[in-house]
Amino acid sequence: MRDLITTILEDSIRVKRQAIEAQMDALLAAADMLVTCVASGHKILLFGNGGSAADAQHLAAEFVNRFQIERHPLPALALTTDTSIITSIGNDYTFEQIFSKQIQALGKRGDVAWGLSTSGNSPNVLAGMRAARELGLRCLGMTGQGGALTDASDLVLTVPTATTARVQETHIIMGHMLCQLVDETLFPPGAIDSSD
């Protein structure tokens, strides 16, 4: 069992390193997309299914509350949290529309739609991205090896593995990197007035 633990750890490190080193420019572009969004008074809408839904909620919390520094809240919303809205749409329409209808209600040009899907082919995530594009939102995708989310996104971050756990682990570290890049761009040391 100790060997299995070591194997899992080494595989996780390898996948993260490959994904991040290969996409350094894309990570910087994603950070710029998010900075532009919130600096201009717009918001980030995050969504996904299962573990990706949990990642969406986790990252929204990092933006709204704080990541590692004390700073003003940043506008981010996970579209995965309101069970009344989700079950209403799923019951009255289809599960495929649970994100697209929320984006139609809440999304505005200048916002960022951040869709997460380990397969890159989740129908409701793709529908959300289509709705976002129709409204003029910028679309940031996070996926495994690609899938249809690649074409549905203005910018996509991929993970070179078919193992769902490794994809999700890499998504959260990329998400944390983006949180820190946004914070350090918008709130450099000394930029926050602690008397607020």
Six-digit token pair at 101?
Answer: 């209808």
**Distance from C-alpha of 53 to C-alpha of 81, rounded to nearest angstrom:** 8
- Domain boundaries defined on the chain: 25-179
Q: Is the pLDDT of residue 47 over 70?
A: yes
Q: Which amino acid is at 79?
A: L
**Predicted local distance difference test score (pLDDT) of residue 195:** 52
pLDDT tens by residue, 80-98: 999 999 999 999 999 999 9
**Distance from C-alpha of 141 to C-alpha of 117, rounded to nearest angstrom:** 8
pLDDT tens by residue, 11-45: 999 999 999 999 999 999 999 999 999 999 999 99
Q: How many CB atoms lie within 10 A of CB 136?
A: 11
Q: Which amino acid is at 120?
A: G
**Predicted local distance difference test score (pLDDT) of residue 32:** 99
Closest CA to 125 of 46, 43, 29, 19: 46
pLDDT tens by residue, 48-70: 999 999 999 999 999 999 999 99
For residues 177, 181, 184, 186, the Cα torsion angle rounded to the nearest 10 degrees is: -140
**Distance from C-alpha of 144 to C-alpha of 150, rounded to nearest angstrom:** 10
Six-digit token pair at 93?
Answer: 């329409």
Six-digit token pair at 175?
Answer: 């998400």
Per-residue buried b or exposed e for 97-107, using 16+ beta carbons within 10 Å of the residue's own CB: bbbbbbbeeeb
Please report, rounded to a whole number, the percentage of residues in the chain having pLDDT higher than 70.
96
Which CATH superfamily includes the segment(s) 25-179? Glucose-6-phosphate isomerase like protein; domain 1 (3.40.50.10490)
**Predicted local distance difference test score (pLDDT) of residue 22:** 97
What mean pLDDT value characterizes the chain?
Answer: 96
Opening angle at CA 97, ends 96 and 98, nearest 5:
100
Opening angle at CA 183, ends 9 and 173, nearest 5:
15
CA distances from 132 to 21, 44, 125, 176 (A): 29, 11, 10, 23
CA distances from 34 to 2, 29, 95, 193 (A): 40, 9, 28, 22
User: pTM higher than 0.85, yes or no?
Assistant: yes
Average pLDDT over residues 133-161: 97
